[in-house]
Amino acid sequence: MVVLCSLTACVESNRTSVPDGAAGDAIERSARRPNLLVIVVDDLGYSDLGAFGGGDIETPVLDRLANDGVRLASFYTAPTCSPTRAALLTGTDPHIAGLGNMAELLADNQRGKPGHEGYLNERVVSVATLLREAGYFTAMTGKWHLGVQRQHGPAAHGFTRSFALLDGGAGHFDDTGLMAATPVAQYREDGEPAAWPGGRYSSDFYTDRMIAYLRENAGRKPFFAYLAFSAAHWPLQAPDALMRKYQGRYDEGWDVLRDGRRAGLRRAGFVEREVPFVAPPEYRPWTTLDPGQQRVEARKMEIYAAMVDSVDQNLGRLMEELERSGELRDTVIVFMSDNGAEGTPLEKSPLFGDWIARFDNSLDNMGRAGSYVFYGPNWAHATTAPGRHYKSHVAEGGIHAPAFLWRAGPAGQGAIARTPVTVMDIAPTLLELAGVAHPGSREGRAIAPLRGRSLGPLFEQPTARIHPVDAGFGVELFGRRAMREGDWKALLEPPPFGSGRWELYDLAQDPGEARDLAAQQPELLQRLVGRWREWAEEVGVVLPEGQSGY
pLDDT at res. 442: 80
pLDDT of residue 457: 95
Q: What is the pLDDT of residue 28?
A: 44
Which residue intervals of 60-117 are DSSP H helices?
Answer: 60-68, 81-90, 94-97
CA 141 – CA 224 distance, rounded (Å)? 12
Tell me what pLDDT residue 31 has. 57
Q: What percent of the chain lies above the pLDDT cut of 70?
A: 94
> Which DSSP string corresponds to 496-533?
TTS-SS-EEEETTT-TT--S--TTT-HHHHHHHHHHHH
CB 17 within 8 A of CB 33: no
What confidence tier does 52 reach under pLDDT thresholds 50, 70, 90?
Answer: very high
pLDDT in tens, 305-359: 999 999 999 999 999 999 999 999 999 999 999 999 999 999 888 888 889 999 9
Residue with the larger pLDDT of the pair 164 and 12? 164
Whether the pLDDT of residue 253 is over 90: the answer is: yes
Does the structure show a pLDDT above 70 at 46?
A: yes
Q: What is the pLDDT of residue 198?
A: 82
pLDDT of residue 410: 66
pLDDT score recorded for residue 440: 83
Whether residue 540 contacts residue 100, with contact meaning beta carbons closer than 8 Å, is answered with yes
pLDDT of 13 above 80: no
User: Can you give the pLDDT at residue 1?
Assistant: 29
| CATH annotation of 7-89+125-427+451-469 | 3.40.720.10
- Measured CA to CA, the distance from residue 59 to residue 335 in angstroms comes to 13
pTM value surpassing 0.85: yes
pLDDT (tens digit per residue) in 153-211: 999 999 999 999 999 999 999 999 999 889 999 999 999 999 999 889 999 999 999 99
At residue 8 the predicted structure's pLDDT band, cuts being 50, 70 and 90, is very low
The model's confidence at residue 412, banded by pLDDT at 50, 70 and 90, is low
pLDDT tier, 16 (very low <50, low <70, confident <90, very high otherwise): very low
Which contiguous run of DSSP H or E holds residue 446?
A: strand 445-446
pLDDT above 70: residue 236: yes
- Within 8 A by CB and 6+ apart from 33, the residues are 10, 14, 136, 222, 433, 434, 435
**Which listed residue (95, 116, 145, 172) is catalytic?**
145
For the chain, the average pLDDT equals 92
Instruction: Using the predicted structure, report yes or no on whether residue 2 has a pLDDT greater than 60.
Output: no
Active site residue 5: no
How is the chain split into domains, by residue range?
A: 7-89+125-427+451-469
Residue 310 and residue 15 in contact, taking contact as beta carbons nearer than 8 Å: no
Dump the DSSP string for 22-64: HHHHHHHHHHTPPEEEEEEETT--TT-SGGGT--SS--HHHHH
Q: What is the pLDDT of residues 430-463, one digit of tens each?
A: 999 999 999 987 878 899 999 999 999 999 999 9
* pLDDT at position 110 over 50: yes
What span, in angstroms and rounded, lies between the C-alpha atoms of 398 and 384? 8
Helix (H, G, I), strand (E, B) or coil at 481: strand
pLDDT computed for residue 10 by the predictor: 34
Section 122-140 average pLDDT = 97
Cis peptide before 518 (omega within 30 of 0): no
- Whole-angstrom Cα distance, residue 239 to residue 255? 27
Question: Looking at residues 124-145, what average pLDDT do you find?
Answer: 98
Express each pLDDT in 69-105 by its tens digit: 999 999 999 999 999 999 999 999 999 999 999 999 9
User: Do residues 224 and 327 touch, judged by C-beta distance below 8 A?
Assistant: no
- Write down the pLDDT at residue 163: 98
Task: Please give the pLDDT value at position 6.
Answer: 33
Annotation marks residue 389 as catalytic = no
Among residues 170, 114, 130, the alpha carbon closest in space to that of 18 is found at 130
pLDDT in the model for residue 30 = 38
Amino acid 339 reads N
342 vs 15: which has the higher pLDDT: 342
Predicted pLDDT at 409: 77
